[in-house]
Every structure is written in structure tokens, then in C-alpha cells.
Amino acid sequence: MNKLDTNYKNTWCPGCGNFGILVAFKNAIKDEDPNNIAIVSGIGCHAKIVDYINVNSFYSLHGRALPAAEGIKLANPDLKVIAFTGDGDSLDEGISHLIHAAKRNSDITVVLHNNRLFALTTGQFTAVSVEGFKGKSTPTGAPESPINPLELLLASNATFISRSYSGNIKHLEETLKRAIAHKGFSIVEVLEPCVSFFNTTEFYNNKTYVLDDANLDSREEALKKIREWNYEENGEKVPLGVFYEVSKLPFYERVLTNKKEETVEDILKELI
């Protein structure tokens, strides 16, 4: 048993994309001091990941992983805080938290498990489901087309925007390491098949490719790369990699710089 393993019984379906995320994340943090890490989750299949990693963790509410993570970071800026969230969790239920965490450049890493439906509740459509998706809440097909969440995050001033795939564990591990090292808000969207309700394994195996790291500080370039795939079911090419990376003072540092003489407790009292 490795030091990051726990004794919890894993209840994900065999073949679920969450396994790839679990392995890649454990690899990504294996050289970190586990006492300096806090992980947070929303609610859903993805959220069980916090039970399977032996570091400080907080199982939050559906759609509320990000405010919990931001609060932890504010209270203890020395921690590296990682929030695991689902597409239902943070693109439907908690979408305003995602936009505002990016806007204020909270120094947290968001791992977005994107299986393109509400899986734990057995297959309702989300903001990134394909148009026509037939599930529990849309038996005749979803009538809406999906949003592009990375485009939304670029518009929200996120400072690190990336995408990986649960079936490309090496790429995912490297992307997670870069996101965690980034000072400020970072997102790793992880495309993951839900083998029980929307099995995209073949599509992603065939259509994903890895971008090079050119012009990471250009919004125009980032937008072009982000728009290369707009979540169509039959898209030709699905880019993986870092789309955008810029440096900007994170939220807690801006708060603390303005209030040098006060303690974190004083600042929190004023904020609450």
C-alpha cells in the first residue's frame, strides 16, 4: 500500500474514467509533503476521489466545492488546495462559483471531471452534454447545445486553462503538476468517459491530440485553440494541453498586501 492510498472500498464502475484521474493525481503529488495539501470535492461519482487519497480532505456540497476550497486557501495560504468537481457540479449547480473563483484569481486548482452528464444520479444532461443526448431527464433528446467551459473561463480571466484526458495518464499527470505549481486560479478540464451512461472512450482515444506550448500568454491564440472543438459529438480533433497561462497576483496576496499590519484572522473578520 502506498502512503497516498486509503482503505475505502472503491465503488466506481470498472472502466470509469475516474480511475485514470486518481492514478494521475497520486503520481502528480507523490513528491509533495501531504501535510501541505488539502483536497476538496463536490458531490457525485467524481467526489468519491477524496475518499481514496490519504491527504487532508473536505467533502463539500453539490456545486460548492470551489467556495470551500477558496475558504481553505484564505484561512491557510501555505496549503496547496485542489478542488475536484464534476461538470454537473460546477457547470450547472455551482457555475457562478467557477466564474467568480476564476475572476478573483483564487489560488486553487480545479480538476473538472468532465463526463458530460450527471452520473451519480444515473444520467441527466448537463451544460456540456451533446445536443440530442438521451438520458433520464431528456428521454427524447436534449434540446440545447453545449457551452464551451474553457471559453467561459477565458472570458472570466482565469490565469491557467488546460485540458487533459483520463485515458492519457502521463499527459494528465504532467498537466496536473503544472496546474498545481501555477500561482493563481488553474483549471484542468479532464475529459473522462462514463462507461455506464455516456461511453466516449473510443471517440477520445481517436480524436484527442496534444498541443505544443506556443504563445501561452495570447488570449487570441488561446481562444482559437479552445474553439477548435466545441463539444460536438463528431468533432474531428480534440486538443489537449495548456491553452493559456499568465502571471497575476492571486486573491489572498492582494488582500494581504493591502492589509500588511493585520493578521489573517482580522482580515477574515472584515470579509465575513
Using CB under 6 A, pick the residue from 16, 24, 29, 68 that binds ligand SF4. 16
- CA–CA separation, 196 vs 135, rounded Å? 12
Nearer to ligand SF4, 35 or 199 (CB): 199
- Contact characters 90-129, ligand TPP, x per CB under 6 A: -----------------------x-x--xxxx----x---
Query: Among residue numbers 195 through 224, which ones bind ligand SF4 (CB under 6 A)?
Result: 195-197
The partner in contact with residue 148, picked from ligand SF4, ligand TPP, none with C-beta cut-offs of 5 to 8 angstroms by kind, is none
To ligand TPP, the closest distance from the beta carbon of 272 in angstroms equals 23
- Contact characters 32-71, ligand TPP, x per CB under 6 A: ----------xxxxx---------------x---------
To ligand TPP, the closest distance from the beta carbon of 153 in angstroms equals 17
Is 92 in contact with 195 (CB distance < 8 Å)?
no
Nearer to ligand SF4, 117 or 188 (CB): 117
Binding segment toward ligand TPP, per CB under 6 A, in 86-94, 96-104, 148-156, 252-260: 86-94
Query: How far apart, in Å, are the Cα atoms of 181 and each of 111, 158, 261?
Result: 14, 15, 28
Nearer to ligand TPP, 38 or 91 (CB): 91
Can you give the binding site for ligand SF4, defined by CB under 6 A? Answer: 12-13, 16, 18, 45, 115, 119, 194-197
